[in-house]
Structure 1
Amino acid sequence: MTTSTYLTRMLVAGLGCLILSSCSKIGLAPVPNESVPLSPGQVHVIPNYDVNDTALTNKGWIKSFEDNFNGDLSQWRVLNGGVQKELACYQAANLKISGGYLTISAKKETVTGPEIVGADPVKSFDYSSGWIVSKAQISINATTPVIRIVARLKVAPGNGLTSLLYSFGGNWPTNGEIDFLEVKGSDKDELLSDYQYGQVPLQDLVKNGLSTTVTDGDLSAAFHVYEFEWSQTSIRTYIDGKLVETKTQGGYIPAMFGKMQSLSLSLPVGGLYYNNLQPANVVPGAMVVDYVKIFSSSKPL
């Protein structure tokens, strides 16, 4: 996840893995305003962009997972408890489905829960938030050498918060972890991505895998479509239909071929994402998710 998340956070019971620090909605995409000058290195984003599934299925992609958040969270595990150095207790009460959207809220409130997710000791927390992990797992392999994750969401504003979309496998990091999306509430125009892999538990071998995409917009002010293509040789990131990064650095992307991973959405408060964060300076907020879809292809990139 960011450079600080190479550190171990906690073991999640029941998942058998180590987690690291965390009406129709289809419409026409707005036309980009190409007249707006960009600063060097900036990526233009399109507020409330959307995409139709046929844009992918017509090219041979096969949809294997979809949640439009019109019902319940039966496709996900809801985690309960805290994480080392983070300020919030994750709980089901902070996950709300309404109007075809999932809202994950980080709140300032006193709650009691497991000190660590999956552990027995309880403690009092000053903040609460939400965290879900997919029951289905994904993998690139000889049959489906490319996977494309498509998520439409608004990241959370608020100092001390970090919106996360990532995948991970058991016995971290021997089955890998891919941090597709990390956006800090204090830096809402920056998308960070990273990955971790190791040959033995608790030892990440990846160096220089972290990258930052700077955009020309506030990613918390509107919905954006984030797409990620994971293949044996690279991890590609798209924002609002535009390829913004092809990650090959770090040396261990091929090692994750055939590794099974689960998808995760969470909204940590504080923790390893911030240095010297004062709890009094945390600003509560919410991440809103329109949909999450996973497609696979039999054609390698």
Structure 2
Amino acid sequence: MKQFTPYLFASLLLGFIGCSSEDENPGTGSTGSTEVFIPTAGFTSPSSYPGMNLVWEDEFNGNSLDLSAWTHETGKGQNGWGNNELQHYRSQNTSVERGHLIITAKKESFSGSEYTSSRIITENKKQFRYGRVDIRAVLPKGQGLWPALWMLGANFRTVGWPACGEIDIMEMIGGQGREKTVHGTVHWQQDGNRAQFGGQYSLPSGTLADQFHVYSIEWDASSIRWFIDNKQYHVIDTTPEQLDEFRRSFFFIFNVAVGGDWPGSPNSSTSFPQHMIVDYVRVFQKN
């Protein structure tokens, strides 16, 4: 999810290992989500595709996060997760109810931060190489909000970032009229330096917070394509040798950051709490 700022290996590693005592009961804390409005309108993707099998899905049923698939990452990271982000990630800001995952960003003082949110990952639990990914979600809104649905190379711990590769399925930057625009990006290492290539799509009207949209990629050995509501808006040719990162396995990361170098900080116009609501994530692979 790091569109402009280098994602320091030490920052991410600290976040991966830095859990604190307030998160002893991950996934069970309340976000006040009984008051969360879940839209009914929006795009829905098909449950099957010709020539493909559904290899994993999370429909977020039940009343808690499936810890056989997901792990909470907590804390502030180093230098705000390498981007000067302002939030402290807590498991208590995640809930599962009414068939949806809800990640809540709050304005509240906690452990030296003025904001809290959540970040969940599938590392070492659900990792994938190639296929189509569909994620149906409603995004938060407001200056300084930075929701992301993304993937990181499963070999991150051995090679670091950006050599592991990163696939940003969806990023949105809140405020200043930017909440109608979805960004899809990849990051990799080329000639020893960080490289990136991104595209974006803007709705003709409304914002990505108004109703559900489906954010997708189609990924194979030669390319990655990005879609919103099954409309392709971006593609990268991954056949060059230095993009070999994208011919390996990746895991998912879902989070809502607050502040940071790209979106800037919240201001008096930003209303809290804000929510990213995910209806489902589905992974399809060729027969």
> Could you tell me the TM-score, scaled by structure 2's length?
0.77
2:174 & 2:15 partners in 1: Cα distance? Answer: 30
The residue number in structure 1 matching 2:27 is none
Deviation of the 1:62 alpha carbon: 1.3
Residue 51 in structure 1 maps to residue 51 in structure 2: no
Higher helix share: 2
Residue 197 in structure 1 maps to residue 188 in structure 2: yes
The residue number in structure 1 matching 2:276 is 287
The residue number in structure 2 matching 1:137 is 127
The residue number in structure 2 matching 1:104 is 103
The residue number in structure 2 matching 1:268 is 257
The residue number in structure 1 matching 2:5 is 5
2:282 & 2:248 partners in 1: Cα distance? Answer: 19
1:237 to 202, 226, 230: 226
- Residue correspondence of structure 1 range 34-73 to structure 2 within 5 A: 48-54=42-48, 56=49, 59-71=50-62, 72-73=64-65
2:248 to 259, 278, 281: 259
The residue number in structure 1 matching 2:94 is 95
Unaligned runs of 5+ in 1: 17-46, 113-123, 141-146
2:75 to 62, 77, 81: 81
Corresponding letter in the other structure for 1:4: F
Deviation of the 1:257 alpha carbon: 4.1
2:46 & 2:247 partners in 1: Cα distance? Answer: 29
1:251 & 1:286 partners in 2: Cα distance? Answer: 39
The residue number in structure 1 matching 2:147 is 163
1:228 to 217, 240, 246: 217
1:238 & 1:133 partners in 2: Cα distance? Answer: 22
For 1:255, what is the secondary structure of its paired residue?
helix
Q: Is the 1:233–1:254 Cα contact (8 Å) retained in structure 2?
A: no
For 2:116, what is the secondary structure of its paired residue?
strand
Deviations 1:111-155 (A, max 9, x none): 12xxxxxxxxxxx11110010001311123xxxxxx111100001
The residue number in structure 1 matching 2:21 is none
Q: Is the 1:232–1:256 Cα contact (8 Å) retained in structure 2?
A: no
- Residue correspondence of structure 1 range 10-21 to structure 2 within 5 A: 10-12=11-13
1:177 & 1:192 partners in 2: Cα distance? Answer: 14
1:250 & 1:15 partners in 2: Cα distance? Answer: 30
Deviation of the 1:199 alpha carbon: 6.2
For 2:4, what is the secondary structure of its paired residue?
helix
> Could you tell me the TM-score, scaled by structure 1's length?
0.74
Q: Is the 1:2–1:193 Cα contact (8 Å) retained in structure 2?
A: no
Change (3 A) 1:53 1:97: same
Corresponding letter in the other structure for 1:98: E
1:82 & 1:280 partners in 2: Cα distance? Answer: 23
For 1:256, what is the secondary structure of its paired residue?
helix
For 2:107, what is the secondary structure of its paired residue?
strand
Change (3 A) 1:256 1:79: same
Q: Is the 2:224–2:238 Cα contact (8 Å) retained in structure 1?
A: no
Superposed CA RMSD in Å reads: 2.5
- Residue correspondence of structure 1 range 141-152 to structure 2 within 5 A: 147-152=131-136
Change (3 A) 1:90 1:137: same
Change (3 A) 1:242 1:2: same
Change (3 A) 1:224 1:240: same
Query: What is the aligned residue count?
Result: 244
Q: Is the 2:58–2:280 Cα contact (8 Å) retained in structure 1?
A: yes
1:253 & 1:232 partners in 2: Cα distance? Answer: 13
Deviation of the 1:294 alpha carbon: 0.9
